[in-house]
Structure 1
Amino acid sequence: MSLGQPSSLRMPSFLHGTYSAVHQKTRKEGLRCGEQYLKNSSFPAPLETLVVPPGEVVIAHEVVDFARERPAWRLYMVSHVMSGMSEALDWQNTFPMRDAYEAFFRETPWGALYFATSLEAPRSAERMALRLQAVLRFWETLQSARYLFSSPNAALTLEELMTAACDWAMDAWCPVGEEASVRARLETAAGHMARATREDSIEAIFREMPRALAHARNLKHRDVVAHPTFQRQRLTTLDPLAFERVSGACTSDLLEKLYDWDHELGMH
């Protein structure tokens, strides 16, 4: 589904309302999508989309959604649609459906932004390249709104939102040229991710690993797991599927890997 580059941001009506109303509408939409997927492996378009007035605030992260009785645009609740789809499939073999849903709605401005900023798994280099490229295609449209993401009191521009959500990608995959615009850095990062070899991903991981280590708490073997030689040895021995999971160099994935390595060392 390709809507081109519309002049103003439109979002599905099921993402607007009070928290309880959106919760009900998104679950219903998820069941509707799941039922159609079961029939023919496709998804229906939203029944209604509405224009988001220029400058209006879109809530992009649940942690800042405090005024739940206030009608608002709740982009982060696309996750409830996906839960409803999984419910329609009785929670069986849901990953192909979720991947297909992402690919379909990544071709809309709101879908592109949700999948880039929510960081739904998987976060491989290939998948993150597709997500960032989708946002870049709809850049002008998405600039018309403001976003809540990391603070309930700070409405962010698109550039500020993408920095808050995806600074790790820019640091790992576009480490030079910090004076460049956010859009230019994202374009560079997405291009490098799309063409990444295994060695390219390892180098990106090394650039992002200090941030992951800074967030790691209570590592019993910190000196070992923090050493580049140890990290390279462990990364090079990962099987293709396991390596793909960390190939995007997302901080949370690297943090998880650090804890895995630390636990493994404690077992010997």
Structure 2
Amino acid sequence: MTAPQSPVLEFPAMLHGLTGAVLRKVRAKGQGWAREYLKTGAFTQPRQMLQVPPGEILEMISGAEFDVVPRPRWRVHLFADIFSSLNEGVPKEERQRLEEAFEVFCLSTPFGALYHAVSPPPPRSAERMARRLAALLRFWDVLQGPRYAYRVPDTHHTLDDLMDFIYRKTLEAWCPGGPVSVREHMALTVARMSHSSREDCMEAVLRVVPALVEVDAEFKHREVLSDPGFLRERLSALSPRDFEKISSAYTYTMTMQLAAWDRELGRH
């Protein structure tokens, strides 16, 4: 169930502070959520929430902000550590259900929707990514208030800038020449991605690859990796499970797949 939207943005208090304190609280909360799931089969929002005023800086990746003297701030990227403690004490056969239920819970909250859009954990299938981006769109208005520190040090992005930075190539792959507005382009992409066939995903992947090859100087077989015939052959040879992993045309996942093919080409 999606948490009711409020004009006031609140994030879990555990995400604000010095690095060590945030990590301790996040790991403890992960253990607490695991116990709650085993007892009730569900998750509830943390009791301690803090308001995020407009203009507040949210650190979305390690090293995006630098302090000579460390000071408390929002360290949203450290939410990743929740996953290292979430499975503690949970039977192995229950872990997949727990992880799926936890993602559903996260996507019902602004902080969880933001985290899963900025740092989406595997799997990154078209179906899963459409769900994550749809959640972000539901909270778009309230998430426009803060500013976001990401890969460009000491640069504070708007939400639009941040999503453009992360998803521009993916959005163009799904909806070439789409709306100028990132929000509208993302909404159109979600609509297409949600009802996509394998062939739709194949076409999106084929469209995103040239943009990835162009900007990554590490690839040694650039012409081959950009060849549609080679790509179709390799994509068709992937198992359904492996194809699903890249089916969203998410740039990081696709870059990793291209790197694997590049290494294979180097061995022949």
Q: TM-score if structure 1 supplies the norm length?
A: 0.91
State the Cα distance separating 1:89 from its structure 2 match: 3.9
Task: Tell me, in whole angstroms, the C-alpha distance in 2 between the residues paired with 1:33 and 1:197.
Answer: 36
Query: Is the CA contact (8 Å cut-off) linking 2:17 and 2:72 kept in structure 1?
Result: yes
- Aligned-residue CA RMSD (Å): 2.2
Query: How high is the sequence identity, in percent, across the aligned residues?
Result: 39
Cα distance in structure 2, aligned partners of 1:253 and 1:63: 22
Asked if residue 66 in structure 1 is aligned to residue 61 in structure 2, the reply is no
Does structure 1 retain, via aligned residues, the 8 Å contact 2:164–2:182?
A: yes
CA–CA distance in structure 2, aligned partners of residues 123 and 248 of structure 1: 7
Instruction: Give 1:4 deviation, angstroms.
Output: 2.2
CA contact (8 A) 1:117 1:166 kept: no
Judge conservation of contact 2:33–2:43 (CA < 8 Å) in 1. yes
* Structure-2 separation of matches of 1:249 and 1:177: 16
Task: Give per-residue Cα distances to partners, 1:73-117, cap 9 Å, x unaligned.
Answer: 111111111222134448887444323211111111111111001
Change (3 A) 1:39 1:181: same
Letter in 1 for 2:86: M
- Looking at structure 1, the residues matched to 243 and 20 of structure 2 have their Cα atoms a distance apart, in angstroms, of 39
Q: Which 10-residue stretch deviates more, 190-199 or 79-88?
A: 79-88
Provide the rounded CA distance (Å) in 1 between the counterparts of 2:235 and 2:250: 14
Local SS of the residue matching 1:8 = coil
1:103 maps to which residue?
A: 104
Mark the CA change 1:91 to 1:211 in structure 2 (over 3 Å): closer, same or farther: farther
The 2-side partners of 1:40 and 1:53 are apart by 33
Would you say the 8 A contact 2:107–2:132 is kept in 1?
A: yes
For structure 1, list consecutive stretches of 5 or more residues without a partner in the other structure: none
Alignment partner of 1:242 is 2:251: no
CA distance, structure 2, for counterparts of residue 222 and residue 164 of structure 1: 23
Distance in 2, matches of 1:146 and 1:122, equals 28
Q: Secondary structure at the match of 1:58?
A: strand
Q: Give the distance between the partners of 1:73 and 1:266, measured in 2 at CA.
A: 43
- For 1:22-37, what aligned pairs fall within 5 Å after superposition? 22-37=22-37
Rounded Cα–Cα distance in structure 1 between residues aligned with 2:252 and 2:135? 22
Matched-pair contact (CA < 8 Å) for 2:143–2:159:
yes
Is contact 2:213–2:225 with CA below 8 Å preserved after alignment? no
Query: Where do 5+ consecutive residues of structure 2 fail to align?
Result: none
Provide the C-alpha distance between the structure 1 equivalents of 2:76 and 2:116, rounded to a whole number of angstroms.
10
With over 3 angstroms needed to count, the CA separation of the structure-2 counterparts of 1:92 and 1:23, relative to structure 1, is farther
Counterpart secondary structure, 2:108: coil
Q: What is the rounded CA distance, in whole Å, between the counterparts of 1:39 and 1:116 in structure 2?
A: 29
- Aligned residue for 1:6? 6
For 1:85, give the aligned amino acid. Answer: L
Tell me which residue corresponds to 2:141.
140
1:177-203 deviation digits (Å, cap 9, x = unpaired): 35x211111111111111111111111
The aligned runs of 1:143-222 (5 Å cut-off) are 143-178=144-179, 180-217=180-217, 219=219, 221-222=221-222
Between 1:211-220 and 1:150-159, the stretch displaced more is 211-220
